[in-house]
Structure 1
């Protein structure tokens, strides 16, 4: 003890020894200290005995802790500063000097046991799931193929995480990786990005050539190619720094969008899989009817009689509550964060965008504009103006997954909605980088710099309850907004008709004026393929009206107008319905600016002026992204399909049936 104490006092006077860091010294700095001591021995040969003492430093410090806890510590002894050491000293002085120190270290042991239990639980769940997939594959391989692919991805993700943690268990490997990881990883990452950049540029030319060749026999599809060029030129004209545009992310975004479009819309197998996935999404969302049937009964499921239509707020909008509970549950288990992070890394390397931009674009596909902004809220403090514009552009260009069923009830085909969401998310990054190129140094380039908002859920049921309650507020807000917007739109329409009728123009409503404004955009997109010129002009004007309503009011009102047009037969063309579905699929409307500014200002109040300055540019990027996706769909889809709105299904007309009953049975 005296020898150990002398060594401790000597090293304490030199400022290199602390009793609470002895365990850390054994794990991390002991090899370096040994090498340093060996150098001293080689030079002078005077400290060979100290090497043996340092090798047994842990045993000495345990005795020293027991000695000091007995209350006989000299005044010259070093003081312990670690919280764990203070805990040991306090408990030992209270319970006696013979108390075992292992009893007091139950906190870290319990935490390690909890981590081990969670790890074993994940292993058991993965084994059970893999066994189920194997048995299902042996019985029917074609039906189990999607689950087999999912199981392989989960195994790769889980195995990669285990291997990465096992790599850091060895101190020497960890030290070696810390010394050599950065420079080698930077080289690999640089070569990977250069290779992907070259690959995208190499693929973009043949893809564009094939698209032109495939659409050469159709004039309407060639017109859609001109729309893509026109929208890109419009983005360049409206750019904040046209001379500093970096075309790498732009080329990557367009290559990714065209590749996804060919796989999902042009390739027959990919189109079949897209339809199958879209149908499964509809089935998943339709489980909401089991809850609404019990809670609302007649209101949610009225009899199929004309005039007894279902109440929109208690049917389609209830899916938002169901979806909100599911998303919160996935948040609680960390699935949302893990999936979004991996997709963000892929988009970062393929497109060259920062990790926060990629994460927001991927989050918009599943969560929508509001939740994705809340997810990356902590990063707003250090984001550049280009990154803020990109976040806004991606938010305006996407829709929330919870609204899928509501739009489907308006007559939007589910496969079109699903493909539009995925394709628009990628191209929005490229359009944003044209509108506001990066001219600052970003601090969000790497995954390690990514900061995500945390959701405080305490249990399984707490996550579901909080998610459902939060979604219920959204449902109420959407319902009240629809009441106000539809009422104001009707007022503006009739006021415009009254004013223009005094000038000799009859039936010139606000929708008609907006349609005339957006008519050139709808025309170059090839909104109608009708052979009759008059029908072609009418359908193009109707699509332009929907685009104008979506931009000036919101997409909900536009989709409801689309449903009415389909039901009344004023928009019969399959291509017109398809182009309208793609063009309306996004939150890019003036009313969304207030919501975006409110959310971002709540996350970072000091940058309110920056957010306000960039909001209009972000809205423009969202509109261009949605219209670009509609143009690409017009190029690739040769034979579009139609869907019927659910709210206008065939019903029993009692008014028409009454005279027949009177003639047959007589009046009662």
Structure 2
């Protein structure tokens, strides 16, 4: 018990110290930011994971996920027939192979995007965002636009969140802009939360609640790491409150906009999955030409597992499980979190304990990868063209910061569970 507690505590210390050592200006790092950042992560995790009423609320989200899945399947059955889950017009010899990811799981993105747009139009989502932004402002001293952008990243994507503060992007300080980028890398969009929960629901109980909690806890972790790596040298100004306005004229218009805006995302995920899995297969075929190690062929997953094993050990994974968990973290960083979650769902139950699966669910919950960097540079660069060079220059560092933030979230959960 003591080892499982000390291990992630050591991980938090190492991650924080590493960020400080890599800081551009160590003297400018505010002790308040570190203390408040760590405290807020623990307080949020305690409240969301341990308080019975709050925990019950988040666990009930899994029932909502099942309802949305059933509703989505009704649509996919009508449009795609047996490929979308309807009864096949012929006898299936291998029914366990009848699940078609593109037509069964990924259409969830369309439904969730439509529902998110509707909640935004009804001003439910903006209310949640403002509440979380106020909390970040009071605890971490985060400026108005950055606090709002960070809070929005918990619920929407890395390109949608900056749209809420678009008029302020040109005037944000460099550290604030980096903080916004890091929050985008350390969290995931609401449009894919339900998808990921559905993918790992069979191996991680109450997956939706955990994924949402992970995104919430990672926001203060991201602001803390970003503030250490590129510290703010001036006090955050009391800017005029940012208004959050919906562009939809009616509820039906919101649903239509949300659905149409999700189509490119759906197609992008399909294309990226095909290419990424194909590239991994090609690399594994090349590595297979090398001599076997320990009686098994060399693969990209094994290499990544060895490289990342010490890192995931620091957040609470037992050493004998660290290579497997490290491979997941490597896949997430090099490819993306969707492929990593698919791998997590496919792992035999004996390879990772229930506790390790839960820790990795949190550690994998972020957009920090090279593919996301391209999306972020394109989106933020279009919104603030004069800051494009700065955004590009801080890109790789934002991946590092986002990865460190999600690892901290995994370590915090490793201490509490």
Calculate the TM-score normalised by the size of structure 1.
Answer: 0.58
Q: Is the 8 A contact 1:319 1:405 kept in 2?
A: yes
Task: Name the residue aligned to 2:227.
Answer: 433
Structure 1 position 458, deviation (Å) = 3.5
CA distance in 1: counterparts of 2:349 and 2:123, whole angstroms: 47
Structure 1 residues 123-202: aligned runs within 5 Å: none
Q: Is the 8 A contact 2:310 2:322 kept in 1?
A: no
Task: Name the residue aligned to 2:256.
Answer: 465
> Equivalent of 1:274, from 50, 58, 67?
58
- 1:628 pairs with 2:408: yes
Task: Name the residue aligned to 1:309.
Answer: 98
- 1:508 pairs with 2:298: yes
**Superposed CA offset, 1:35-88 (max 9, x none):** xxxxxxxxxxxxxxxxxxxxxxxxxxxxxxxxxxxxxxxxxxxxxxxxxxxxxx
Q: Is the 8 A contact 2:142 2:236 kept in 1?
A: no
Q: Is the 8 A contact 1:316 1:405 kept in 2?
A: no
- 1:403 pairs with 2:192: yes
Structure 1 position 434, deviation (Å) = 0.8
Structure 1 residues 544-563: aligned runs within 5 Å: 544-563=326-345
CA distance in 2: counterparts of 1:385 and 1:451, whole angstroms: 23
Q: Which ranges in structure 1 are unaligned for 5 or more consecutive residues?
A: 1-216, 529-535, 638-668
Task: Name the residue aligned to 2:384.
Answer: 604
CA distance in 1: counterparts of 2:55 and 2:393, whole angstroms: 41
Structure 1 position 431, deviation (Å) = 1.4
Structure 1 residues 189-588: aligned runs within 5 Å: 217-268=1-52, 270-284=54-68, 286-301=70-85, 305-411=94-200, 412=204, 413-440=207-234, 445-448=238-241, 450=242, 456-498=247-289, 500-501=290-291, 507-528=297-318, 536-537=319-320, 539-565=321-347, 568-569=348-349, 571-588=351-368
CA distance in 1: counterparts of 2:316 and 2:251, whole angstroms: 50
User: What is the alpha-carbon root mean square deviation over aligned residues?
Assistant: 2.3
Task: Name the stretch that deviates more: 284-293 or 224-233.
Answer: 284-293
Structure 1 position 561, deviation (Å) = 1.0
Number of residue-to-residue matches in the alignment: 407
Task: Name the residue aligned to 1:595.
Answer: 375
CA distance in 1: counterparts of 2:53 and 2:115, whole angstroms: 30
CA distance in 1: counterparts of 2:362 and 2:247, whole angstroms: 37
Higher RCO (CA < 8 A, seq sep 6+): 2
Q: Structure 1 pair 459/410, CA: closer, same or farther in 2 (3 Å)? A: closer
Deviation >6 Å, runs of 4+? 502-505
Calculate the TM-score normalised by the size of structure 2.
Answer: 0.90
Q: Structure 1 pair 312/440, CA: closer, same or farther in 2 (3 Å)? A: same
**Superposed CA offset, 1:410-438 (max 9, x none):** 22422321221111122211111111111
Greater Rg over alpha carbons, structure: 1
Q: Which ranges in structure 2 are unaligned for 5 or more consecutive residues?
A: none
Structure 1 position 376, deviation (Å) = 2.4
**Superposed CA offset, 1:516-543 (max 9, x none):** 1111111122213xxxxxxx52x21100
